[in-house]
């Protein structure tokens, strides 16, 4: 009855789409993704299209091309062969009116809020902007859902992060571990986490936090440490780069695979539960940055030997004696997250979710992809 009344009212709104019947409306599989051009957005789009969703994405206006990760999925809507299932809308998490307009016209059944200024180091330089987009942007999206009267008809996923744990209070970190963020990014995401919980409790929204530990892939942004290392290993082995400069080599991360479908499948499963809850997705393994370096260079046949300490530490190729890794303090953070190690037991139990760990294969896959890209710059979209 409620649904019928809702649909009747809804269809009288200016931007409403015609779903034919309340039943069609209830069964619609329409996803809206903020951050669709990012690493996770592109993999999630692939997964949802495979699952039969009509996928809409919010894309920022940029003077340079920012859809490289989506090229293989996109077909011109004007072409008769276009899939018609993947539609981009210009928008920004800082623009409330725009978000209301998009929500109102798309009427999604699921919203995935992946959009963010996601670089931790950059957040120290752009703290206010990061708070605005990552913190208030989440509030704007939740409020846009309410403004459109969709709060009982949309399932909302918030891209929360292991950066919420920050300073080590306990390991492994789980849904019950207290938060202690260590960066403007972490603090902004803390607001986003709690406003998601608050809207769930206050308005009965199906809204949940996926607390995801680091996940990497060949589509990882080039300034995150794993991709920076995999690209450098490829370029150095091909003689295209001399030396790799890094910051803190001792930081430890629970690095999973972001592109083998397990991560996006986990996000999707969180929205298919009978009630909304928050979940950690992690591998349960942790590795230091220096181990990532060693494995990446081994993948191109180089054996790294470490010498010195602190800012004077260097990584030397044991065969040639060449210095390939140096420390540059400009990559240190004003406050660091030393150790992340997640406990995914709840997701394993309730979502039947398991991330494939195999750290070594992940490193190898990233280096291999960067070797191919380095030799085919024209295809080097990611
Ligand atoms: P990326 O940095 O690859 O992608 C971020 C996306 O957000 C891009 O599409 C970017 O657009 C978009 N974006 C940035 N600013 C805005 C804005 N003002 N309005 C709208 N969109 C914006 O991140 P990931 O794909 O790696 O991560 C996805 C989400 O998950 C992020 O929220 C991140 O904080 C979070 N997260 C990521 C983890 C990881 O290990 N990858 C772990 C835990 C959480 P553009 O392409 O134009 O820059
Ligand atoms: P992180 O990822 O901060 O964990 O955030 P990043 O790859 O940037 O750093 C991981 C660790 O490596 C150390 N590090 C360096 N980092 C970068 N970027 N560049 C370097 O040269 C370098 N040298 C050492 C860092 O100090 C850090 O300890 C990522 C993002 O995707 C977030 O959006 C997400 O929320 C978290 O993962 C979970």
| Closest approach atom of ligand 2 to CA 226 | 7
Residue 376 confidence (pLDDT): 85
Residue 19 confidence (pLDDT): 75
- Same domain, yes or no: 237 and 192: no
- Same domain, yes or no: 150 and 129: yes
Ligand 2 mean position to 154 CA, how many Å? 32
Residue 299 sits in a domain of what CATH number?
A: 3.90.25.10
Binding-site residues, ligand 1, Cβ < 6 A: 34-41, 58, 60, 62, 66, 92-94, 114-118, 133, 159, 161, 212, 214-215, 221, 258
With beta carbons less than 8 A apart as the criterion, state whether 381 and 68 touch: yes
- Same domain, yes or no: 238 and 132: no
Q: Which residues of the chain have pLDDT under 70?
A: 1-17, 75-85, 378-382
- Same domain, yes or no: 161 and 298: no
Q: From atom 32 of ligand 2, which residue's Cα is the shortest distance away?
A: 118
How many domains does the structure of the chain reveal? Answer: 2
Residue 161 confidence (pLDDT): 98
What integer best gives the mean pLDDT of the chain? 93
Segment 184-207, tens digit of pLDDT: 999 999 999 999 999 999 999 999
- pTM, full prediction: 0.96
DSSP string, 43-84: HHHHHHHHTT-EEEEEE---SS---GGGTTT---TTSTT--S
- Same domain, yes or no: 235 and 173: no
The parent domain of residue 77 ranges over: 2-212
- Same domain, yes or no: 187 and 229: no
- Same domain, yes or no: 119 and 237: no
- Same domain, yes or no: 235 and 185: no
With a cut of 0.85, is the ipTM above it?
A: yes
Residue 352 forms part of a structural domain: no
Q: Which residues are catalytic?
A: 161, 163, 185
- Same domain, yes or no: 131 and 154: yes
**Beta pairing partners, 246:** 327
**Distance set, CA 365 to CA 213, 231, 379 (Å):** 19, 11, 17
Residue 49 sits in a domain of what CATH number?
A: 3.40.50.720
Give me Rg for the CA atoms of the chain: 22
Does the CB atom of residue 253 touch ligand 2 within 6 A? yes
- Same domain, yes or no: 204 and 249: no
Residue 243 forms part of a structural domain: yes
What SS3 state is found at 335? coil
- Same domain, yes or no: 239 and 308: yes
Does the CB atom of residue 331 touch ligand 2 within 6 A? yes
- Same domain, yes or no: 156 and 245: no
């Amino acid at each position: 009855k409620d649904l019928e009344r809702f649909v009747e009212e809804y269809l009288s709104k200016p931007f409403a789409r015609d779903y034919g019947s309340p039943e069609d409306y209830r069964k619609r599989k329409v996803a809206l993704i903020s951050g669709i051009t990012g690493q996770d957005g592109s993999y999630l789009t692939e997964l949802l299209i495979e699952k039969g969703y009509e996928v809409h994405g919010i894309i920022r206006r940029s003077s340079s091309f920012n859809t490289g990760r989506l090229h293989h999925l996109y077909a011109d809507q004007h072409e008769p062969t276009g899939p018609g299932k993947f539609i981009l809308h210009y928008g920004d998490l800082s623009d409330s009116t725009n978000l209301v307009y998009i929500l109102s016209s798309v009427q999604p059944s699921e919203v995935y809020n992946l959009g963010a200024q996601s670089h931790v180091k950059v957040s120290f330089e752009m703290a206010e902007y990061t708070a605005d987009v990552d913190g208030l942007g989440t509030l704007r999206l939740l409020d846009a859902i309410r403004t459109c009267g969709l709060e009982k008809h949309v399932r909302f996923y918030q891209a929360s992060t292991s950066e919420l744990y920050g300073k080590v209070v306990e390991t492994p970190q789980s849904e019950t571990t207290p938060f202690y963020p260590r960066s403007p990014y972490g603090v902004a995401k803390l607001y986003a986490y709690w406003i998601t919980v608050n809207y769930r409790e206050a308005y009965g929204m199906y809204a949940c936090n996926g607390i995801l530990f680091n996940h990497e892939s060949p589509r990882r942004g080039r300034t995150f440490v794993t991709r920076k290392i995999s690209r450098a290993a490829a370029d150095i082995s091909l003689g295209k780069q001399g030396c790799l400069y890094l910051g803190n080599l001792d930081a430890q991360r629970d690095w999973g695979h972001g592109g083998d479908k397990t991560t996006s499948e986990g996000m999707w499963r969180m929205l298919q539960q009978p009630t909304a809850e928050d979940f950690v997705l992690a591998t349960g393994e942790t590795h230091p940055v220096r181990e990532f370096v060693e494995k990446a260079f081994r993948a191109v046949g180089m054996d790294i030997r470490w010498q010195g300490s602190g800012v004077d530490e260097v990584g030397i190729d044991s065969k040639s004696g060449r210095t390939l890794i140096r420390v540059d303090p400009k990559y240190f953070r004003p406050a660091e997250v030393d150790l992340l190690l997640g406990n995914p037991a709840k997701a394993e139990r309730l979502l039947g979710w398991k991330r494939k760990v195999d750290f070594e294969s992940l490193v190898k896959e990233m280096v291999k992809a960067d070797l191919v890209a380095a030799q085919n710059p024209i295809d080097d979209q990611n």
